[in-house]
Amino acid sequence: MPAPLPWTDDVERIQPDEAEHIRRCIDSMLRVNAMTFDLHRHGVRATHAKSHGFLRGTLTVHDDLPRELAQGLFATAGATHDVVVRLATESGQLDDDRKANARGLSLKVFDVEGETLEPGTTTHDLLFNTLPILGPGTAQKFMELSEIRERHFSDESAMTEEIQSRPDAEQMTAFHRLVGNIHPLAHAYYTQGAFGYGDHVAKISVYPGTAEQEALADREVTSDDDGSVLRALVESWTTDRETVFDVRVQLRTSEDMPVEDASVDWSQDESPYRSVATVRLPPQQPYSNARRVFGDDRLAFRPWHGLAAHRPLGSVNRLRQQGYEALGKQRTDLNATTGTTMTSASELPD
C-alpha cells in the first residue's frame, strides 16, 4: 500500500471569489430555511432536517493500530469514549421516507484528549452522508445548488429541470442517483470532505459492524410503507438489539486525491478504508418525546467542533465553518430556544 502523504499547510488552496461564494450560499440557505419554517411553523435543520433516531453508546479505539492510523482521536490504543449518534435524511424539509435520498449519521465523541479547535471543549463531532463524495464538491458549486433550490423552492420539477440542463448535472445529482432506499442502519456513511488526520490527511467513514446489521440492506423501503418508516425501522432494531458500526479511515496517498474538490472519489483500490475503532450502541428506545425534542431542537453537530488534529479541509469545509453557525442559530432563534454544547452523553434524555 502506498505511504500516506504528509499534512502540510499547502494542501489547502483558497478558491478565487471564495468569500463571496460562501456569503451568497449562506444568505440563500437562510432564505430557504425561513421558507421551510413557514411550512412547518418550526425551525428545522437546513439540511438533515428529519431525524430517525438518537442513540447513546461508546466508541473504542482498536489497540493494534499502525502508527499512520494511530493519530488524533485514534491515538490511544484501547481508549473508550461515550458517544451520541443522530440518524437523519439529507433534505432540509421533513420529506416522506419513501422518497429515496441521501441519509446522514452524526457522531459526537465525548472526553477527547488533545488540542481542540474551540478551546475549552472536550467533544469531537463527525458528520457523515451515504456516499463517498459530495456532488457539489466546492463552495462555488454548493452555492450554485443552493441558489437553484431557492429559485424553485415550491416547484421540484422546475428545480430538477434546471439542474439537468447543466453540463455538470451528473455530478450535481450524484447523491440522488446512487443511494438505495434501505434500512438506515445498513448504510455505510462517509465524511465526503477531507480532514486532517494527525500527521496526514484522510476521509472517515462508518460501516455496519455485524453481518446481521449488514443484512438489513435487504429491507428496502417500498410504496406500501408508511411515510415515516425509517424511524420505525430504527426503533424496531434498537429497542432490543445492539447496533454496531465499524469506523474506518481512508488515508490520502496521492496528489490525485484532491482536498479542494469533494466531488472526486479517492481511489479505494489505491487507499482502502481501514478499520480504526468500533462504535457500540446498546439496546435502547431511540425516539422518546424527550429525546426527540432535545435532539431536534437543542442538539447540534458541527464539523469544526473537535480536535485540531482533525481540522476540516477544503472549500466545502471552509463554507461549513460559517454555515452551520449561521443556520444553526437561525434554527434555535426561530424556536426561541438555545443550542447546547453537550459535555456528557448522559444529557441525552431516555
Whole-number minimum distance, CB 186 to ligand HEM, in Å? 17
Whole-number minimum distance, CB 92 to ligand HEM, in Å? 8
Q: How far is the C-alpha of 120 from the C-alpha of 130, rounded, in Å?
A: 32
Interface pick for ligand HEM out of 57, 184, 306, 323 (rule CB under 6 A):
323
Interface pick for ligand HEM out of 93, 138, 140, 192 (rule CB under 6 A):
192
Tell me how far apart the terminal alpha carbons of the chain are, to the nearest angstrom.
Answer: 45
Whole-number minimum distance, CB 189 to ligand HEM, in Å? 8
Q: Which is nearer to ligand HEM, 26 or 277 (CB)?
A: 26
CB neighbourhood size of 211 (10 A): 7
Interface pick for ligand HEM out of 24, 162, 242, 328 (rule CB under 6 A):
328
Q: Which is nearer to ligand HEM, 79 or 328 (CB)?
A: 328
Residue nearest to ligand HEM (CB): 323
Interface pick for ligand HEM out of 81, 187, 310, 320 (rule CB under 6 A):
320
Whole-number minimum distance, CB 44 to ligand HEM, in Å? 8
Q: Which is nearer to ligand HEM, 306 or 323 (CB)?
A: 323
Q: Using an 8 Å Cβ cutoff, are 249 and 273 in contact?
A: yes
Residues paired with residue 84 on neighbouring β-strands, in sequence order:
56, 108
Determine the interface stretch with ligand HEM among 3-11, 194-202, 275-283, 319-327 (rule: CB under 6 A).
319-327
Strand segments, DSSP code E, in the chain are 50-61, 80-89, 103-109, 124-129, 189-190, 194-197, 200-208, 243-251, 274-281, 312-313
Q: Which is nearer to ligand HEM, 68 or 125 (CB)?
A: 125
Q: Which is nearer to ligand HEM, 114 or 328 (CB)?
A: 328
Q: How far is the C-alpha of 83 from the C-alpha of 172, rounded, in Å?
A: 33
Q: Residues 175, 215, 284, 78: is their CA dihedral positive or negative?
A: negative
Q: How far is the C-alpha of 126 from the C-alpha of 192, rounded, in Å?
A: 11
Closest alpha carbon to 279 in 185, 204, 206, 191: 206
What x-and-dash track marks residues 81-100 binding ligand HEM by CB under 6 A? -----x-x------------
Strand, helix or coil for residue 62: coil
Whole-number minimum distance, CB 346 to ligand HEM, in Å? 19
Interface pick for ligand HEM out of 331, 334, 342, 348 (rule CB under 6 A):
331
DSSP H helical segments within 152-228, as ranges?
156-164, 169-172, 174-178, 211-214
Residue 324, interface with ligand HEM (CB under 6 A)? yes
Interface pick for ligand HEM out of 134, 230, 249, 259 (rule CB under 6 A):
134
Q: Which is nearer to ligand HEM, 65 or 330 (CB)?
A: 330
Torsion of CA 328, 329, 332, 333, to 10 degrees: -150
Q: By CB under 6 A, what part of segment 248-307 binds ligand HEM?
A: 262, 300-301
What are 317's three cell numbers?
469545509
Whole-number minimum distance, CB 76 to ligand HEM, in Å? 26
How open is the CA angle 284-286-287, to the nearest 5 degrees? 140
Strand, helix or coil for residue 32: helix
Determine the interface stretch with ligand HEM among 13-21, 44-52, 114-122, 251-259 (rule: CB under 6 A).
44-52
Per 3-state DSSP, the chain is made up of helix, strand and coil in percentages (nearest 5) of 35, 20, 45
Q: Using an 8 Å Cβ cutoff, are 291 and 349 in contact?
A: yes
What x-and-dash track marks residues 1-40 binding ligand HEM by CB under 6 A? ----------------------------------------
Site for ligand HEM, rule CB under 6 A = 45-48, 86, 88, 104, 106, 127-129, 134, 142, 191-193, 262, 300-301, 316, 319-320, 323-324, 327-328, 331
